[in-house]
Structure 1
Amino acid sequence: MRHVIALDVGGTGMKAALVGADGELLHQARRATGRERGPDAVVETILGFAAELRGYGEQHFGEPASAAGLAVPGIVDAARGIAVYSANLGWRDVPLRRLLGDRLGGVPVALGHDVRTGGLAEGRIGAGQGADRFLFVPLGTGIAGAIGIDGGVEEGAHGFAGEIGHIVVRPGGTPCPCGQRGCLERFASAAAVSQAWAEASGDPEADAADCAKAVESGDPRAAAVWQEAVDALADGLVTALTLLDPRTLIIGGGLAEAGETLFTPLRAAVERRVTFQKLPSIVPAALGDTAGCLGAGLLAWDLLETDITDRSEVTT
């Protein structure tokens, strides 16, 4: 059975799959990233994990994987196949496409940014299916975004397209590690809500999920924390939709797990802010934590389809 290898590398864990031509997850596996052992060890873990997946495919499907897709965090030069920088993983300028291709016996390899890769999957087979233009925004430890256009995801001239988390929504506000002050992710990420609710509740162990539950139970302190995050998120999203005019806004990540506790006030806050802009649909992500892996598989299949097209053009 023809298949590809898909790997989604996170700060603490890796998700992997063998993906069939129809997008079916034929085999899934997980492994700790092991970042505490250093960047070289992380790279070796990725390569070894992929080699194991190749072996599994040979044993169970009668042939090795035809290609591989790899999604990683940080700054990614997808065109050159280089993981430029990741603060979480500590690496710089790692030629992952070449290294993985060599380990897998020369099969074609696609490298992508984790959020853009997840956005690719949400756009093609998830919540954005059928939308010609969408914006995927996962609300996790930080906030990033993926700009979907006609079945693909925009990389930008330098690989930074979609960094909505660093739109300044509160000028002069909380310092951000990026060097600015008042960035969206300092107010509306799951990490920011967790910190704000821990301070407001007096419980240092409280997190964003606890805040959402307190909102649902009618706690006014939680409601104030939650509304501040929703207002900041709405400000950032309206800036983005003013520039990009998406048909659909897809919200994912840990904060979106609050369901309508998030989406009902968020839709209202965005609607209050739009003037001439066309109000997009605001929907929850559909693929959960499999989005990055599925997207990596799509990147790999895209490589194979491009190769077939190129060879067809040469022979005609």
Structure 2
Amino acid sequence: MRHVIALDVGGTGMKAALVGADGTLLHEARRPTGRDRGADAVVESILDFAAALRAHGIAHFGEPAAAAGVAVPGIVDAERGIAVYAANLGWSDVPLRDLLSARLEGVPVALGHDVRTGGLAEGRIGAGKGADRFLFVPLGTGIAGAIGIGGAIEPGAHGSAGEIGHIVVRPDGPPCGCGQRGCLERLASASAVSKAWAEASGDPEADAADCAKAVESGDPRAEEVWRNAVDALADGLLTALTLLDPHTLIIGGGLAEAGETLFTPLRAAVAARIVQFQTLPEIVPAALGDTAGCLGAGLLAWDLVDRKTATTPTDTAPTDTTPTDTAPSPTTPTDTDPTEVST
């Protein structure tokens, strides 16, 4: 059965799947990243996981994967296949595409940025399906963005398009690791809300989910923390929609799990900031949750297969490929590996 390897590398864990040509998840697995053992160990963990996925495909589906797609955090040079920098993983200038292709015995590999790869999945098969121009913004430990235009994700001239988390929304705000003050992600990310609520509540273990619950119960301290975060987020999103004019604004990540506790005030705050020449986009929750990166990696891999097929001379039409303008839809996995470690 023809399939590809999809691998989403996070700061602490990796999610992976073998994906069929029709989008079926044939096998799913998770492993820890192992970042506590250092950058070299992280790379080796990725290579070992990919090799195990390849072996599983051969054993269960009778052939090796046709391609592999991998999504990683940090700064990514997708064109050259290099993981340029990732603070959480401790690496710099890792030629990950070539390393993976060698470990997979020559299988072609596509490397992508985690948020842009997740945005690709949301655009093709998730909340942005059918929108020719959208912005995907996951609110997690930090905040980044993926700009979807005409079915593709815009990487930018230097591979850093969509870094909305470093728009300054409060010039006198808290310092950011990027060197600025008052960056959006220092005020409206899930980690920022967790920090603010832990201080306001006096509970060092409290997090953003606890803050959302307290908002729902009418706690005025939580309401102030939440309002400050929503206002900062609305200011950052206003800048983005002024520049990009998207049809759809997709909000994901941990903070979006608060549902209407977030979306009702956020829609109102953005609408209140719109002026005459601007158009209010549809603001919707992400549809794919924490599977977006993995599903997007699978799409990157199938795109590689399609391009290879399109450039290979043949006298007959290929019979088992997925055209790039037809998005495979995720379906219930047919095989899972209970021995993998959940993260």
The two structures have a TM-score, normalised by structure 1, of: 0.98
- What's the offset of the Cα at 1:24? 1.6
Q: Which has the higher contact order (CA 8 A, sep 6+)?
A: 2
Cα–Cα, structure 1 residues 154 and 314, in superposed 2: closer, same or farther, change >3 Å? farther
Count residues in correspondence. Answer: 316
Q: Which residue of 1 aligns with 2:179?
A: 179
Q: Which residue of 2 aligns with 1:166?
A: 166
Output the amino acid matched with 2:287. Answer: A
Identity of aligned residues (%): 82
Q: CA deviation at 1:173?
A: 1.2
Q: What letter is aligned with 2:281?
A: P
Match of 2:19 in 1: 19
**Alpha-carbon separation, structure 2, partners of 1:78 and 1:220:** 46
Counterpart in 1 of 2:211? 211
Aligned to 2:285: 284
1:179 aligned partner, one-letter code: G
Q: CA RMSD in A?
A: 1.3
Secondary structure, aligned partner of 1:257? helix
For each residue in 1:239-276, what CA deviation from the matched residue of structure 2 results, as whole angstroms up to 9, or x when unmatched?
00000011000000000000000000000000000112
Give the 5 Å matches for 1:226-241: 226-241=226-241
Quote the offset at 1:76 in angstroms.
0.3
SS in 2 for 1:8: strand
Opposite residue 163 of structure 2, the aligned amino acid is: E
Segments of structure 1 that go 5 or more residues without pairing to the other structure are none
User: Which residue matches 2:34?
Assistant: 34
1:105-148 CA-partner distances (Å, limit 9, x unpaired): 10110000000000000000000000000000000000000000
Aligned counterparts of 1:24 and 1:241: Cα–Cα separation in 2: 34
Give the superposition deviation at 1:151.
1.0
Residue 314 of structure 1, CA deviation: 11
> Counterparts in 2 of 1:108-257, with a 5 A limit?
108-257=108-257
Q: Match for residue 64 of structure 1?
A: 64
Q: In structure 1, what residue type is equivalent to 2:307? A: T
Which residue number in structure 2 is paired with residue 300 of structure 1? 301
Q: Distance in 2 between matches of 1:242 and 1:66?
A: 41
- What are structure 2's unaligned runs of at least 5 residues? 317-343
- The amino acid that maps onto 1:300 is A
- SS of 1:106 mapped into structure 2: coil
Aligned equivalent of 1:7: 7
Task: Give SS of 2:172's match.
Answer: coil
The whole-number CA distance in structure 2 between the counterparts of 1:254 and 1:312 is 46
The AA in structure 2 aligned to 1:205 is: E
Displacement of 1:172: 2.2
- Partners of 1:149 and 1:124 in 2: how far apart? 11
Q: Distance in 1 between matches of 2:20 and 2:145?
A: 27
CA drift of 1:311 comes to 2.1
> What is the distance in 1 between the residues matched to 2:110 and 2:225?
41
3-state secondary structure, aligned to 1:85: strand
* Structure with the larger helix share: 1
Superposed displacement of residue 310, structure 1: 1.8
Q: Secondary structure at the match of 1:83?
A: strand
